[in-house]
Chain A
Amino acid sequence: NAGVTQTPKFRILKIGQSMTLQCTQDMNHNYMYWYRQDPGMGLKLIYYSVGAGITDKGEVPNGYNVSRSTTEDFPLRLELAAPSQTSVYFCASSYKVPGTDTQYFGPGTRLTVL
């Protein structure tokens, strides 16, 4: 049982480039989340999904897109990278709605935009 895996671990992008951050969970969780953590700050929710085919915006969705074609995968897409998107990105999953269940986190992807 690998839990929540994220790739890549590190990435440097130039302004305007695009990339996809991959997230996979093998726990058959319905709910998945993307967070960003800026240096010295807490986590902010970017997007979340309550199941395959259903996604919704979190607190800071601008500049990102997501899709959820399968229960296991929840990729995060950056279309036009900007320096403000330099951050550590965490993917998480849970079985039920937060409040009744815990979230399991991946190890994170550290992204630098220059």
Chain B
Amino acid sequence: GEDVEQSLFLSVREGDSSVINCTYTDSSSTYLYWYKQEPGAGLQLLTYIFSNMDMKQDQRLTVLLNKKDKHLSLRIADTQTGDSAIYFCRGSGGYQKVTFGIGTKLQVIP
């Protein structure tokens, strides 16, 4: 499967910006996704970016893509306690190669 690497843990204060980083190996990925998993729940799609884009903004979320370095980041502006969750990035290798990394646990301190 595709290798995805993320930092395991991020702690920020409420109101600050959060930046979650991801590196991936499959350069043929057409789309790159960010999913959010709240405690005890399944994964929920947050946003995605098409591989020919450098940036996508969606309200408080900004996705940056550096194809040369195979680096994807998710910036959450004005982070709220409700943003506390595990965040997964994923590329789009064929279905049998779809794997998710360990994810980044975001802790928001009030």
A residues neighboring B (CB under 8 Å) = 4, 31, 33, 35, 40-45, 48, 50, 56-59, 90, 92, 97-100, 102-108
Contacts and interface: CB of A to CB of B under 8 A. Distances in A.
B98 interface: yes
A98 B94 contact: yes
A108 to B, nearest CB: 5
Contacts of B96: 45, 48, 56-59
Contacts of A103: 43, 45, 98
A45 B44 contact: no
A42 B91 CA distance: 14
Interface in B51-69: none
B95 A42 contact: no
A98 B95 contact: yes
Contacts of A102: 33, 45, 48
B73 interface: no
Contacts of A31: 95
B1 A33 contact: no
Contacts of A48: 95-96, 98
Nearest to A97: B95
Nearest to A99: B92
**Most interface-central of A90, A97, A98, A108 (chain B CB within 10 A):** A98
A45 B99 contact: yes
Nearest to A56: B96
Given A44-B99, A90-B42, A99-B94, 17 more contacts: A31-B95, A33-B98, A41-B102, A42-B100, A43-B99, A45-B1, A48-B96, A50-B95, A59-B96, A59-B99, A98-B93, A99-B31, A102-B33, A102-B45, A103-B43, A103-B98, A107-B42
Contacts of A56: 96
Contacts of B4: 42
7 contacts: A33-B98, A41-B102, A43-B100, A44-B99, A50-B95, A99-B29, A106-B42
A108 B41 contact: yes
Nearest to B42: A105
**Most interface-central of B33, B94, B95 (chain A CB within 10 A):** B95
